[in-house]
């Protein structure tokens, strides 16, 4: 492992942790540290931005290959499936969910899960039809 790669890993880890702690400080009302959390999150984001010049100085530019539309479609379908499944989970996990919310959440979550599971066969079909 090169020294530059190790520096990228260290900056990413520290920046990600500081940013996450800042977000927790902002979003957990029991802590009552919103302003300090914003400052800590900004510091973490700045640390993460320091990765960009380190990466650019150590990695040469590569020639871009043509766009693989199968991969693009796979990403889009996967994101949509995850969002639908997440919506279903949030309907089920609401504090005072009634039977209708539970039923809608379970059905929506199953639909989202099916979309995620069918993502690879869809990609194989798109790749095979090139």
Tell me the mean pLDDT in the region 74-88: 94
What does the alpha-carbon distance between residue 115 and residue 78 come to, in Å, rounded to a whole number?
A: 7
Give tens-digit pLDDT for 95-130: 777 888 899 999 999 999 999 999 988 888 888 876
Tell me the mean pLDDT in the region 83-90: 92
Contact in structure between 1 and 33 (CB atoms under 8 Å): no
Per-residue pLDDT at 86 exceeds 80? yes
Q: What is the widest separation between alpha-carbon atoms in the chain?
A: 57
Helices (H), the chain: 3-27, 34-49, 51-58, 69-92, 99-117, 119-128
Is 0.85 surpassed by the pTM of this model?
Answer: no
Per-residue pLDDT at 1 exceeds 70? no
Q: Is 92 exposed, middle or buried (0-12, 13-18, 19+ CB in 10 A)?
A: middle
**pLDDT band, very low/low/confident/very high, at 65 (cuts 50, 70, 90):** confident
Q: Where are the domains of the chain?
A: 3-58, 69-124
Task: List the single range of 23-37, 57-71, 72-86 with lowest mean pLDDT.
Answer: 57-71
């Amino acid at each position: 492992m090169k020294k530059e790669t190790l520096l990228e890993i260290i900056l990413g880890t520290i920046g990600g942790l500081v940013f996450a702690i800042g977000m927790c400080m902002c979003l957990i009302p029991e802590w009552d540290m919103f302003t300090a959390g914003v400052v800590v999150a900004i510091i973490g984001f700045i640390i993460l931005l320091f990765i960009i010049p380190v990466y650019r100085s150590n990695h040469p530019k590569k020639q871009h290959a043509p766009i693989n539309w199968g991969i693009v479609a796979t990403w889009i379908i996967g994101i949509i499936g995850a969002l639908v499944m997440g919506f279903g989970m949030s309907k089920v996990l609401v504090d005072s969910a009634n039977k209708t919310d539970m039923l809608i959440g379970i059905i929506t979550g199953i639909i989202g899960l099916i979309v995620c599971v069918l993502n690879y066969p869809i990609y194989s079909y798109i790749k095979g039809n090139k």
